Amino acid sequence: MPEFAVPKLRHPPPPPAATTLEPFDAGQYAELDVVTNFSFLRGASHPDELIYRATELRYKAIAITDINSLAGIVRAYDATKQVTEQGGHPPKLIIGTRLTFTDGTPDLLVHVIDRSGYARLCRLLTLGKRRTDKGQCSLALADFLDHNEGLLAAISPASADIPENAIHLLREALSPTDRLSLATNCLHGPDDVARLEDRIEVAERSDSILWFRGIEEMERE
């Protein structure tokens, strides 16, 4: 055992220089699916680094969606405050998470609408974490359906086959306020066109909103 505590090895970076902080224009880029280093083996960047870089690139909004966790939100929020204190214009911080399920339901990107929605999301994650070992989370679709008020949900872009019954249950639970979306993105591969056409067909058939990763269609006031 060391005699003294090991000092922190990381020194947080300063906010971007004020001269680079310009107001963003309506319609600019919004990233709605970002994981931080709090998502083990999935994310590498610290929350403040993401906020500062998004500010420099003049993102309109950024959603922190760590896997079954809200751990990166506090540091991301603090980073937006530091940018503002420097006279800058940080991107709108969207609070969210990526929910994974144990019953075969595709991952959901969940974004918070209001304070009550945030409280429900916290209770949902607490429920899942109490069921299993530390660092894990065990949730089923029924759990989300019981805690969905005040939340937007988008079926993950990584979901290849989307069960029709899952879409039906989500659509019914998140209606009539159009809170369900199907998310998609371009991987710059040979099957992009076919994959996007398939998502469009599913969205039309299920009467769901379709948004491309990074495009602002998902943002609703």
Within a domain: 161: yes
HSE, CB side, 13 Å, CA atoms: give it for residue 91: 30
Buried b (16+ CB within 10 A) or exposed e, 63-83: bbbbbbbbbbbebbbebbebb
Contacts of 62 (CB under 8 A, 6+ apart): 30, 31, 32, 34, 50, 51, 54, 76, 91, 92, 93, 94
Q: CA–CA distance from 179 to each of 121, 151, 183, 219 (Å)?
A: 15, 7, 12, 11
Global pTM reads 0.83
With beta carbons less than 8 A apart as the criterion, state whether 182 and 209 touch. yes
Show the tokens assigned to 94. 């969207």
| pLDDT number for residue 207 | 76
What are residue 201's phi and psi, to 5 degrees? Answer: -65, -45
Taking Cα atoms as reference points, which of 63, 79, 61 lies closest to residue 12?
A: 79
Point out which residues pair with 93 in neighbouring strands. Answer: 62
- Mean pLDDT value across the chain: 85
Show the tokens assigned to 163. 């069960």
- Please report, for the domain that includes residue 196, its CATH number: 3.20.20.140
Within a domain: 11: no
Most confident of 26-30, 77-81, 195-199, 200-204: 77-81
Within a domain: 160: yes
Q: Does 84 have pLDDT greater than 50?
A: yes
Show the tokens assigned to 148. 């969905």
Mean pLDDT of 135-159: 90
| pLDDT number for residue 27 | 58
Within a domain: 130: yes
- Structure confidence at residue 221 as a pLDDT band (50, 70, 90): very low
Contacts of 197 (CB under 8 A, 6+ apart): none
| pLDDT number for residue 102 | 94
For residue 48, the enclosing domain spans 29-218
Show the tokens assigned to 181. 């979306």
Q: Count CB-CB contacts under 10 A for residue 150.
A: 16
Within a domain: 4: no
Mean pLDDT of 181-207: 81
Within a domain: 37: yes
| pLDDT number for residue 1 | 47
E strands within the chain? 30-34, 61-64, 92-99, 108-112, 151-155, 180-184, 209-212
Within a domain: 18: no
Within a domain: 114: yes
Domain count, the chain: 1
